[in-house]
Structure 1
Amino acid sequence: MEIILVPAFADNYLYVLRDPASGKVAAVDPGDAAPLMAELERRGWGLDLILLTHHHNDHTGGVAALVERYAPLVVGAGHDSHRLPPLGRAVADGDRVAFGGTSAEVIATPGHTLGHIAYWFAQDEALFCADTLFALGCGRLFEGTPGQMWESLLRLRALPDATRVCCAHEYTLSNARFAVTVDPDNAALRARAEEIAARRARHEPTVPTLLGVEKATNPFLRADDPGVAAAVGLVGSSPDRVFAELRARKDRF
């Protein structure tokens, strides 16, 4: 599966997917129709499918224009349909969404919003997790609890290390600066932070990232690591308590 990164707004990433076997084309979280249409027109492609992860406008704002122009199937969480654009198919945790010769598993990831879902293409080693998991970070808890978000992150952490994490924002430089304050003894993290700073200085994207790299360096995936707990003064505390402290510190960072 071909994955094309499309920048939008100040720091969003939209995704265009193409299944080479069938020629089918999909878009993930089209918050802005204009850059997606420009990419599709440049390549001479139509649009067959839209995958929505949650209801925020920077992820859904372009849907109406894309539906009017291309008439794709729109897929999103059924229990959140009251605040999503009109859905052609409503899905729930564990459902599968066919896309040409491949398919995605729907994973419920409440926390950032209560209705947030992710799409995991196992065959293609690609995860579209929007605002649940970022490179070296995670989303703010606008609706869910720390416990819910930690459980969501654990579900994503259980996926294979080779999974490409296709998240929705270019927050990595700020996330790296925070991460080293709560995981100061992590040599892999320090090296990665230097690499990220160099990439951003060259105006290069830092995503997709690999899940194996996130497992080793992202403090929000390591709230059950004793070293991270110690760094935030919570030795012996439960992982969800450590996670809550990490998220609170990042909110103030």
Structure 2
Amino acid sequence: MITIRPIPAFNDNYIWHLQAGNEHWVVDPGDAAPVKKALEGAKLSGILLTHHHFDHTGGVASLVKEFDCPVFGPGTIDGVTHPLADGDQFTLLQRDCEVFAVPGHTLDHIALALHASDGIHLFCGDTLFAAGCGRLFEGTPAQMHESLTKLASLPEDTKVYCAHEYTLANLQFASAAEPGNGDITARLESDRATRDRDQPTLPSSIGLELATNPFLRTGSPEIRAQAAAHGTTPDASAVEIFATLRHWKDNF
């Protein structure tokens, strides 16, 4: 059995800690100190990276120095010992792990889908967020839309492990983008209560994102209408609607 726990870091990052027996892996360790504390003296077996931003990689050198462990991730990142690319598969914690290239937030961004007995666990870094998506620092709207579409095609019970606790802010935007969506209203109420208990709103699921994430709902008539009010044409493509939503969210 695999146990997956969030390790809080910085203001709103989550470093995901995967454990099966005596094996311990972490995803996107931007800071080494909370990882070492969470291990409680255990040895780190390996590191998984989704992209090169420092808040996801800043702890790698210190962890490798102490634990001499392998680093799996995009080949663009210094210190990666096992470069990963779209379509790659490897064994992680004695389970199959699949790699998806998901450019948009960065050009080198990947997502990792771990196939376990209880379903798929998706580690998507800053591409897909709970009720949102990452900013386009390097890629284009078309690239990010395609990346999100790829992830949204996974089974609806796929668990989604994002790298930041942005859920409430994203749901507030989602409420503006699709104010008639009752699923968004219910999710915002539920997740506010979760945060009031100082608990993470993650993992999410693909099914929940399909119901409440405006960036996955560009075909919604209400979202199309809201996008038109922010600059798109009535016959705008899904990519154009996505681009308008992303620009609106950047300034929300």
Q: What TM-score do the two structures reach when normalised by structure 1?
A: 0.94
Q: Which moved more, 1:207-216 or 1:147-156?
A: 207-216
Map of 1:143-222 to 2, 5 A cutoff? 143-222=138-217
Equivalenced residues, count? 245
- What is the CA distance between 1:156 and its match in structure 2? 0.3
- What is the CA distance between 1:192 and its match in structure 2? 0.7
Q: 1:65 aligns with which of 46, 62, 65?
A: 62
Distance across 2 between alignment mates of 1:246 and 1:75: 33
RMSD: 1.2
- What is the CA distance between 1:191 and its match in structure 2? 0.9
Counterpart for residue 54 of structure 1: 51
Tell me, what secondary structure is at the counterpart of 1:125? Answer: strand
Counterpart for residue 223 of structure 1: 218
Map of 1:1-253 to 2, 5 A cutoff? 1-20=2-21, 23-41=22-40, 44-78=41-75, 81=76, 84-123=77-116, 124-233=119-228, 234=232, 235-253=234-252
Question: What amino acid sits opposite 1:15 in the alignment?
Answer: W
Tell me, what secondary structure is at the counterpart of 1:236? Answer: coil
Structure 1 stretches (4+) deviating beyond 3 angstroms?
none
Tell me, what secondary structure is at the counterpart of 2:235? Answer: coil
Distance across 2 between alignment mates of 1:232 and 1:170: 26
Q: Which moved more, 1:230-239 or 1:176-185?
A: 230-239
Distance across 2 between alignment mates of 1:109 and 1:100: 23
Tell me, what secondary structure is at the counterpart of 1:55? Answer: coil
Whether the 8 Å contact between 1:18 and 1:24 is mirrored in structure 2 is yes
- What is the CA distance between 1:45 and its match in structure 2? 2.1
Q: Which moved more, 1:232-241 or 1:63-72?
A: 232-241
- What is the CA distance between 1:246 and its match in structure 2? 0.4
Q: What TM-score do the two structures reach when normalised by structure 2?
A: 0.94
Residue segments in structure 2 that go unaligned for 5+ positions in a row: none
Identity of aligned residues (%): 50
- What is the CA distance between 1:239 and its match in structure 2? 0.4
- What is the CA distance between 1:66 and its match in structure 2? 0.4
Distance across 2 between alignment mates of 1:176 and 1:65: 36
- What is the CA distance between 1:190 and its match in structure 2? 0.9
Could you list the per-position Cα deviations for residues 13-50 of structure 1 after superposition, in whole angstroms to 9, with x for gaps in the alignment?
Answer: 00110124xx3211100000000000002xx4211111
Tell me, what secondary structure is at the counterpart of 1:213? Answer: helix
Distance verdict in 2 for CA 1:224–1:122, change over 3 Å: farther
Distance across 2 between alignment mates of 1:194 and 1:87: 41
Could you list the per-position Cα deviations for residues 37-85 of structure 1 after superposition, in whole angstroms to 9, with x for gaps in the alignment?
Answer: 00002xx42111111100000000000110011111101112xx2xx23
Question: What amino acid sits opposite 1:236 in the alignment?
Answer: D
Distance across 2 between alignment mates of 1:178 and 1:49: 36
Distance across 1 between alignment mates of 2:17 and 2:82: 19
